[in-house]
Amino acid sequence: MLEKRVIVCLDVRDGKTTKGVKFAGNVDIGDPVEMAAKYYEDGVDELVFYDITASAEGRGIMIDVVRRVAERIFIPFCVGGGIASVDDMRAVLLAGAEKVSVNSQAVRNPSIITDGAMRFGNQAIVLAMDALADPAMPSGYRVVINGGRVPTELDALEWACKAVDLGAGEIVVNSIDADGTRDGYELTVTRLLADGVGVPVVASGGAGVPQHLVDVFDHGHADAALVASMVHYGDFSIESIKKHVAASGIPVRRSL
């Protein structure tokens, strides 16, 4: 079994890291560059930065933050939010990121996935998906865009499979129902995608204690797991999370 990855997610709004519950009630909790440096020193495997209001506000990406993060950390990191073109992708990658994440823009313009994969390689293109439980959809989950604000007619599993066919090298599935609740990942949708696509699937939304990562690796078949609240508020360290996962018999990269 390949080693599982622990990834810290930093939602950024107006240059500050912010956190909410189910995409609402966000409060600012710190400087993303300083937080990134701390998590790097603590031994996190990767970082993800989402500009959570860029798409809804119709503005560009946070290149200055990307550059400053790249000067401080030496692990892979991914950037999403407001990426609307191959030129945007190039700017983010040149600023120091290893991956770019597309979500709402990919729904509106799926060819951005193919164009990005052809230019920069599949490994650099991540599809992020916000999924909402909905029994009306074939898989039981509906894709929602614009930071959880706008429901689409896309089925989560069908969209994930199409995105991989278009060139996405990784899928991040975020459960809107679980987001920020700290009650655990949504295992059903994670496993559905992990078993249904041929690329790594990253679980997102709901982590509250280290056992939740064990559950999503074991029962959700995730290749990696995003954490946010449980580390942002100091309840757990990267080291303590990894120790718990390793003690459960799941291979994980050890902290520095």
Question: Where in the sequence numbering do the catalytic residues fall?
Answer: 11, 130
- Count CB neighbours of 85 within 10 A: 14
Question: 3-state class of 186 per DSSP?
Answer: coil
Cα separation, 192 vs 170, whole angstroms: 15
Angle (CA) 183-27-176 rounded to 5° is: 40
Angle, in degrees to the nearest 10, between helices 238-247 and 32-42: 40
With beta carbons less than 8 A apart as the criterion, state whether 9 and 50 touch: yes
Cα separation, 119 vs 140, whole angstroms: 34
**How is 1-35 classified by DSSP, letter by letter?**
-PPBEEEEEEEEETTEEEEEETTEEEEEEE-HHHH
Tokens of 111: 């060819």
Cα separation, 191 vs 222, whole angstroms: 7
Residues 6+ apart with CB under 8 A from 119: 86, 89, 90
With beta carbons less than 8 A apart as the criterion, state whether 75 and 35 touch: no
